[in-house]
Structure 1
Amino acid sequence: MRIRFDNTWIADSEQAILLHEPGHYPVAYLPIEHVEEGVLLPTDRITTHRDLGATRWFTVAGPGRRGERAAWTHTDLPEHASVLAGHVAFAWRAMDGFYEEDERILGHAADNYHRVDIRSSSRHLVVRAAGTTIADTTSPVVLYESGFAPHWYVPRTDVDETALTATQTSTFCPCKGIAGYYSVAGIPDAAWFYRDAFPEAARIDDLVSFEPDKIDVFLDGKQLGVEPGQTVIAHGLDRGLQPDEIAHRDDSGLHNTEGQQ
């Protein structure tokens, strides 16, 4: 893993450790000795992590700018977390980019325990709103994602696109890319799609999925509902799941690093 700040490589390590906490995205910690000298400036700020104890914060210094409280280390770790001793984490949004080899990581450190699997189906999916059929297909595509109910995507040939009105809403998924949204029969943001989905999610590219808590979605005659408890809780400065993160995405990771945020 490598980290870039102020158009400079400030850390490079083959020994990154990922911290996984329930309900949170993974956080990457690098050995302090793998951070360039002079980058970490200690501050007087010390906070307490409820599970990891005292946390000391650093200012991150680049050639032309500084990131206040942009890195941290745990200084009084319990025995079960002693593997993090001497390691430092960097605030995701404060850095120019995190990289695995030459490819930029988007959203958060890669989660080896999070899977996205996409399958073709011949089940009968129908979407209705205000008594009107919006979509009717026997060739949906289903996306299974760790911790979430299956999401069903419909080919546009099976959607009445006259009922769809594009909205200004967009969201970012580090596994799939940027989603755009539609109002459906006047219901705001009741459907979404991924245009130019990431390669690993290419099978849902430009298909349309409908939100079952906003619109009536039936699968083989059974109405779908929203499953409870399907949220990931963001915490701390290491989070930044915003669409602008990939506004200048480049698969090679390195060609467009100048000025990337």
Structure 2
Amino acid sequence: MSGRYGLAELAQTLIEHGPRKALETSRRIRAIHNHITVVDTTKAVFVWEHDNFPTIYVPSVDIRNGKLADKQNISVELKERAAISQLIVPAHDVLEEKRVDGVLRFFPDVTLGPLSGLVRIDFRSIDQWLEEDEPIFVHAKDPFKRVDILRSERPIEVKVGGKTIAKTESSMHLLETSLPTRYYLPLASVDQTVLRKSNLKTKCPYKGEAEYYHVVVDGKTHENLVWYYNHPTHESGAIAKLLCFYNEKVDIILDGELQERPKTKFA
């Protein structure tokens, strides 16, 4: 949820029913905005507002180089429990003052359980979040989600429109919780004549920033069919510069068997 009314509704739901789950973390979490650190804490809490992934909440006492200005108090059962706030980052050096809207502050109150004294700052409103010294992309990583990358020498072949455009005896299989296995192939194993550079870039909290290729076969362009990570996150370093095709949109023959195309939102 976002926006003033969305935040108020979120706060009321969390206060009345609690989060789906909350987990304290000892990892150092920092938020950098307007070229200055505005959050630095080792007492962040991962809060699941929904089932998909956690949101980072930080203690209000760990707001640095800025101040919170409450805009609207939120009452539940006739008691003020939280406030929609604004983070004000003062001018420094030659940089002007910046204001971050969409901040939710929970008052210190033992009845709020794990939310007591915490602040929710919209992830997208901050220039850069760090987990220890590693950048966080898109949203906080789910500590219960796992990514495994396994080397495989099972032969793999990729066909588009009935034509083989990639074939290799060695690939990396990436297994990510709740997603189909992705097969990452060496660039040299892919027919270079069918690849066309795309301008699309996407980010994944577990793998980093992806770039894309279109694939052209028999005059037909299949847009953004292939992606790769030039500089993946540390834990996904084994797939650096390898190419991956959407299983949902191509025919993949693994160890002589045609794989069923998975049904996902990418199909």
TM over 0.5: yes
Give the match for residue 122 of structure 2: 91
Question: Does the 8 A contact of 1:148 with 1:230 survive in 2?
Answer: no
Pair 1:63 & 2:95 matched:
no
- Larger strand share, 1 or 2: 2
Give the match for residue 158 of structure 2: 127
Distance 1:125 1:228 in 2: 21
**For structure 1, which runs of at least 5 residues remain unmatched after alignment?**
232-261
Larger radius of gyration: 2
- Deviation (angstroms), 1:37: 8.1
Pair 1:192 & 2:223 matched:
no
Count how many residue pairs are aligned between Structure 1 and Structure 2: 226
- Deviation (angstroms), 1:133: 0.7
Query: 1:1-261 to 2 correspondence within 5 Å?
Result: 1-36=29-64, 39-44=67-72, 56-64=83-91, 65-74=97-106, 82-184=113-215, 185=217, 186-220=221-255, 221-228=257-264
- Larger helix share, 1 or 2: 2
**For structure 2, which runs of at least 5 residues remain unmatched after alignment?**
1-28, 92-96
What is the letter of the counterpart of residue 60 of structure 1? Answer: L
Using the TM superposition, name which of 85-94 and 99-108 deviates more.
Answer: 99-108
Q: 1:230 to 1:128 in 2, by over 3 A?
A: closer
Question: Does the 8 A contact of 1:71 with 1:90 survive in 2?
Answer: yes
Distance 2:165 2:139 in 1: 35
Distance 1:212 1:46 in 2: 47
Distance 2:132 2:223 in 1: 41
Distance 1:23 1:230 in 2: 20
Higher relative contact order (CA 8 A, sep 6+): 1
What is the letter of the counterpart of residue 214 of structure 2? Answer: S
Distance 1:171 1:46 in 2: 36
Q: What is the Cα-based RMSD across aligned positions, in Å? A: 3.0
Question: Does the 8 A contact of 1:170 with 1:179 survive in 2?
Answer: yes
Give the match for residue 234 of structure 1: none
Distance 2:242 2:55 in 1: 32
Q: 1:89 to 1:151 in 2, by over 3 A?
A: same
Q: 1:46 to 1:161 in 2, by over 3 A?
A: farther
Using the TM superposition, name which of 90-99 and 31-40 deviates more.
Answer: 31-40
The percentage of aligned residue pairs carrying the same residue is 29
Q: So what's the TM-score if we normalise by structure 2?
A: 0.73
Using the TM superposition, name which of 5-14 and 160-169 deviates more.
Answer: 5-14
What is the letter of the counterpart of residue 20 of structure 1? Answer: W
- Deviation (angstroms), 1:104: 3.6
Using the TM superposition, name which of 210-219 and 66-75 deviates more.
Answer: 66-75
Distance 1:169 1:146 in 2: 25
Distance 1:20 1:118 in 2: 26
Using the TM superposition, name which of 14-23 and 167-176 deviates more.
Answer: 14-23
SS of the counterpart of 1:203? Answer: helix
Give the match for residue 10 of structure 2: none
What is the letter of the counterpart of residue 30 of structure 1? Answer: V
Using the TM superposition, name which of 67-76 and 196-205 deviates more.
Answer: 67-76
What is the letter of the counterpart of residue 54 of structure 2? Answer: P
What is the letter of the counterpart of residue 92 of structure 1? Answer: F
Question: Does the 8 A contact of 2:148 with 2:176 survive in 1?
Answer: yes
Q: 1:126 to 1:100 in 2, by over 3 A?
A: closer
